[in-house]
Amino acid sequence: MKDKINAYIEEINSFKAATQEQVEGFRIKFLSKKGIVPGLFSEMKSVPPDARREMGQILNQLKNKAQEKVNELKSVFDKKDDGANASSDLTLPANFIELGSRHPITIVRNEIINIFSRIGFVVSEGPEIESDWYNFSALNFPEEHPARDMQDTFFIEKNPDILLRTHTSSVQIRVMEKEKPPIRAIFPGRVFRNEAISARAHCIFHQVEGLYIDENVSFADLKQTLYHFATEFFGTETQTRFRPSYFPFTEPSAEMDISCFICGGKGCKVCKYTGWVEILGCGMVDPNVLENCNIDSEKYTGFAFGMGIERTAMLKYQINDIRLFFENDIRFLKQFESAI
Ligand code: PHE
């Protein structure tokens, strides 16, 4: 038995492998359950007791040798495999890169920004965490206005003066505080409202705000600018309609409807058979707001408008559930634009 073991040790020492398969063959031959080493261990039973100790030691040596050899050969092949092999074989297929697509909210936001930049509006942004002043007070909200209610606004628990902005109108104040008229800018951004999530409402959504301040800006300018936007965005056949409305920070205020671009005004499900769909709120900036920002309301006038991006995207693509925008299901997301 001793001679047998010595012959195996000899074999192990001189073993060379050209491929990984040969290493694996070697491992199976010596070390697998039915391999040589376990076989020899089971033969130990027939070794006379006084020789067992010595035999056990040599057998262990054999086992360690075989294991060391396998480890050594494996590490050689592992090293060869990383990089060196890949770069030398130029016919290997490249890793597949999955192309993404833009989120529909991004597509619509960019399109709105493009339309307004072509007529001279620049883009600004403001913080999502605001103080009461920028979100409400400076915008002429009376102290007990219902929009300040806990139901609509997410306040920071320890300090009700800090809140998540409920609209992008807060950026109007930040821009007017810093810049002198003429001001012609749009502010895209995320807004937050403490509302139950449903197919039509979400607690997080996006708006684009517009602001134009200069001498002699009139309601006619407001109408023409928004008419231009509507025809660019929804198509040249689109008609607009302004309904009187109320916002604390604009006077007069209006909501703009567009003729339904699905049925052309005849009546359908999208326009709830009225022929019109509401798309934004707007108005002439209230003189109190201008004064809050140290802009002379005798000299300057201006208009502002704000629209929801989700709402606009839902109309454009006829999406009937706002929650789809936030679920990130790629089967939904990849329908809107092929990757560029
Ligand atoms: N901030 C208003 C809203 O969130 C929209 C608006 C903006 C209305 C600017 C008038 C002028 O509903």
Find the 280 Cα to ligand 1 centroid distance in Å.
8
Instruction: Supply the range of the domain harboring residue 56.
Output: 2-81
Most informative mutation of 134, 135, 165, 169 for ligand 1 (most atoms within 8 A of CB)? 169
Residue 236 has what pLDDT?
93
Query: For residue 101, what is the DSSP state?
Result: -
Same domain (yes/no): 72, 126:
no
Residue 95 maps to a domain: no
For residues 54 and 167, membership in a common domain is answered with no
Question: Does 250 sit in the ligand 1 pocket, CB within 6 Å?
Answer: yes
Q: Is residue 171 over pLDDT 50?
A: yes
Instruction: Report the pLDDT value the prediction gives residue 87, as an integer from 0 to 100.
Output: 60
What pLDDT score does 325 carry? 95
167 lines ligand 1 (CB under 6 A): yes
Q: Residue 197: pLDDT above 90?
A: yes
User: Are 139 and 75 in a shared domain?
Assistant: no
93 domain residue, yes or no: no
Confidence of residue 340 (pLDDT cuts 50, 70, 90): very low
CATH code at position 128? 3.30.930.10
Q: What domain count does the chain have?
A: 2
Domain assignment present for residue 228? The answer is: yes
What's the confidence (pLDDT) of residue 148?
Answer: 77
- Whether residue 19 is found in the same domain as residue 149: no
CB 148 within 8 Å of CB 155: no
pLDDT at 139: 96
Q: Between these two residues, 84 and 241, which has the higher pLDDT value? A: 241
Residue whose CB lies within 8 A of the most ligand 1 atoms, among 116, 140, 166, 167, for a mutation test: 167
Contact 153 CB / ligand 1 (< 6 Å): no
Q: Are 26 and 117 part of one and the same domain?
A: no
Same domain, 197 and 313: yes
Instruction: Tell whether 135 and 76 lie within a shared domain.
Output: no
Q: Is residue 99 part of a domain?
A: no
64 and 138 assigned to the same domain: no
Backbone Cα Rg of the chain: 37
pLDDT digits (tens, 9 = 90+) for 56-109: 888 898 899 899 989 988 888 777 655 555 567 788 888 888 878 899 999 999
Specify the DSSP class assigned to residue 306.
E
How far does residue 247's CA lie from ligand 1's centre (Å)?
A: 7
Ligand 1 in contact with 305 (CB < 6 A)?
yes
Instruction: Judge if 123 and 200 occupy the same domain.
Output: yes
Average pLDDT estimate for 14-25: 88
- Per the domain annotation, does 60 fall within a domain? yes
pLDDT, mean of residues 298-311: 97
pLDDT in tens, 267-289: 888 788 999 999 999 999 999 99
Residues 144 and 267 in one domain: yes
**DSSP secondary structure string, 136-201?**
TGGGT--TT-GGGSTTT--EETTEEEEEE-SSTHHHHHHHHHH-PSPEEEEEEEEEE------SS-
Closest atom, ligand 1, to C-alpha of 169: 1
Percent of the chain with pLDDT over 90: 59
Residue with the larger pLDDT of the pair 228 and 339: 228
